[in-house]
Amino acid sequence: MVTEREFKDFMAEVCTPVAVVTAMADGRPHGTTVGSLASLSLRPPMVTIALDHRSALLSSVRRAGRFGVNLLGAGQAGLARTFAAPVPDRFAEAAWYPDEGLPRLREAPGWLVCVPQRLIPGGDHVLLLSLVTRVGGTRAAAPLVYGRRTFGTHSAFTPRPGASITDQIAAFAR
């Protein structure tokens, strides 16, 4: 049996793009940071994202019937942290505006408008297979990526020093 810790440590080695997924529901913007954005299909253009099945954003996406993907640039780690933290009003700390009725972050270099086609439960998350109805943004910044539990970009990623012998012994003891 794989432990949760083993799985998390393995997945920490997989670099992912960083995006803030947004929706508008009940007259308010909703959003969260995700590292699960992936291309699914070219014809038609589709992406996948995974959201925690308990997340308020998933509920908002279900009600709104669509969502936005703000692809973050290398200088936006603080924005990613804001939308990943349990902050009561994440949008109070971000410059944004409505675009097709969806919250769009002003400085995000990439933008997608998506319509979920299928929602598939998987463990503690729900996978959204979604049609892309619009692509926007400048894509002028290097992409923000997440790997080894830190933000960076694929061209400026610096290796972390190896774990100390004490940390390795502690890891085996778990």
Return the domain boundaries, the chain.
Answer: 4-172
pLDDT at 56: 92
How far is the CA of 163 from the CAs of 10, 148, 159, 166, in angstroms? 15, 12, 12, 8
d(CA 130, CA 101): 17
* Helix residue spans in 28-164 (DSSP H): 56-64, 77-84
Contact between 33 and 84 under an 8 Å Cβ cutoff? The reply is yes
d(CA 111, CA 135): 6
Please choose, from the candidates 95, 101, 109, 100, the residue with its C-alpha nearest in 3D space to the C-alpha of residue 134.
Answer: 100
Contact between 106 and 97 under an 8 Å Cβ cutoff? The reply is yes
pLDDT at 87: 86
Query: How many CB atoms lie under 10 A from the CB of residue 52?
Result: 14
d(CA 152, CA 76): 10
C-alpha count within 13 angstroms, C-beta hemisphere, residue 27: 0
Contact between 125 and 51 under an 8 Å Cβ cutoff? The reply is yes
User: Could you confirm whether domain 4-172 is CATH 3.10.290.10?
Assistant: no
Count of positions (residues) in the chain: 174
pLDDT truncated to tens, each residue of the chain (174 aa)? Answer: 999 999 999 999 999 999 999 999 999 999 999 999 999 999 999 999 999 999 999 999 999 999 999 999 999 999 999 999 998 899 998 999 999 999 999 999 999 999 999 999 999 999 999 999 999 998 788 899 999 999 998 764 444 566 666 666 666 666
C-alpha count within 13 angstroms, C-beta hemisphere, residue 79: 24
Question: Residue holding tokens 């299909």?
Answer: 41
